Amino acid sequence: MSNTTPTTTPPSAKKPQITIIGSLNIDFVTATPRCPGPGETLTATSLTVSAGGKGGNQAVACGRSSFTSQTTQDVSVNMIGAVGAEDPYYTTLLQPALEKSGVDTKSIEQSTVAQTGSASIIVEEAIGGENRILVVPGANHAGLLSDVGNILAALERYPSTPDIVVLQGEIPRSTTLGLLEYFNGSVEDRAKVVFNPAPVFPEGIPLSALRGTAVLIMNETEVVQMARSIEGLPVGDVVEGDGLRPEELAPRFHERADVEIVLITLGAKGVYFSTKSGRSGLVAGVKVAKVVDTTAAGDTFVGYFATAVARFLATGQSIGAFDDGIEGAVSKANSAAAMCVQRRGAMQSIPFAYDME
Ligand code: ADP
């Protein structure tokens, strides 16, 4: 773990700033030889309680990617989210994990109307560790996170405007649409959006909200669902073989929704990138000796890439000029995600940047 007292950047340079607006969960993972039947009680193998939620994971990834050394954090990272009031799991697990990763937690609401979101995960050992997951959104779907006005008010309490706002699909759809519309509007000095529509809302995302998104990051399932959504089709489920090739899918988001950068993560294969100006290609994944656990690999990728974009925007350049840096940023984010898959767990498996040198 790092020392979280960062040194300051030179006074002339604006310190890049990222705000993650998203979910925080406690994950209860029970490993069991097999699942109990109705009415049956079974002795399981183990219980692990850990900090999670896509918002929290991506905040940790942004924070850790900005520690260029154990004592230097070159990007300010803030999280806007919500947990149950005085939840001991928040104070003992989530908050320390965020803060030790350099994430400011002062805008995390302590909700009195809902409990901290949770995921109860049953890992069935007899069938190769297959997961069954029950999510209770709790505070992720109540109070602050159901109110765009309050979120924007929370943002205004920071001394400067963020360069990047990172959004996922685990807070209410209405909030997500409101935030996309606000930030993707044509007002120049607003933060740019890195949007990871995971999971894709069953009702999809209307073009009016998606239009003008700076960075859209999707995996192979999400890209098919989002492509349907921008055509006004039902999102539906995706079965293997449903997908068109990334080079056919990505341009649709530029043409139809004016998205600046489209990234499609392809697991071990790496990432396909495409920019509005016509640059595209595959950045191959990093080969690893043994995949231990892919949880949070996508979140690690999102956080590392978002940090690279924030650093660039803080120099005063526009997102359209990021083309030259995109392959380097994808490559670094691939390396971080490859480190993540070699470690067990979610947040704890996300590497610090100084660990990757
Ligand atoms: P998600 O977990 O969101 O479905 P992916 O499976 O596409 O996302 O993984 C996200 C990123 O994590 C990939 O683009 C790649 O950089 C990295 N990654 C995932 N699986 C592997 C693997 N087996 N080996 C190396 N890198 C991987």
| Ligand 1 atom closest to 198 (CA) | 3
Q: Are 101 and 76 in contact (CB under 8 A)?
A: no
pLDDT digits (tens, 9 = 90+) for 181-191: 999 987 778 99
CA 52 vs CA 37, 45, 97, 219, 346: distances in Å: 28, 21, 10, 19, 7
What span, in angstroms and rounded, lies between the C-alpha atoms of 288 and 304? Answer: 19
Residue 214: closest CA among 166, 176, 249: 166
What span, in angstroms and rounded, lies between the C-alpha atoms of 10 and 260? Answer: 30
- Evaluate if residue 205 carries a pLDDT over 50: yes
Per-chain mean pLDDT for the chain: 93
Query: SS in 3 state form for 247-284?
Result: HHHHHHHHHHHCCCEEEEECHHHEEEEEECCCCEEEEE
Binding residues for ATP: 219, 265-270, 298-299, 334
Q: Which of 77-86, 119-128, 138-147, 162-171 has the lowest mean pLDDT?
A: 119-128
Report the percent of the chain where pLDDT is more than 90: 87
Average pLDDT over residues 211-231: 96
Nearest CA to ligand 1 atom 9: 267
pLDDT digits (tens, 9 = 90+) for 295-308: 899 999 999 999 99
pLDDT at 344: 86
Q: Are 7 and 102 in contact (CB under 8 A)?
A: no
| Ligand 1 atom closest to 219 (CA) | 7
Q: Are 286 and 41 in contact (CB under 8 A)?
A: no
Which residues, 6 or more positions from 273, have their beta carbon under 8 angstroms from its beta carbon? Answer: 261, 262, 263, 264, 279, 280, 281, 282, 283, 326, 327, 330
Would you say the CB of residue 270 lies under 6 angstroms from ligand 1?
yes
| Ligand 1 atom closest to 221 (CA) | 4
Bigger pLDDT: 260 vs 241: 260
Q: Ligand 1 centre from 10 Cα, in Å? A: 36
What span, in angstroms and rounded, lies between the C-alpha atoms of 168 and 334? Answer: 19
Q: Ligand 1 centre from 292 Cα, in Å? A: 12
pLDDT at 329: 98
Q: Are 74 and 42 in contact (CB under 8 A)?
A: no
Q: Ligand 1 centre from 271 Cα, in Å? A: 8
What span, in angstroms and rounded, lies between the C-alpha atoms of 77 and 342? Answer: 25
Binding residues for substrate: 25-27, 53-57, 170, 299
CA 257 vs CA 58, 122, 213, 226, 305: distances in Å: 24, 39, 8, 11, 21
Active site residue 324: no
pTM of the model: 0.94
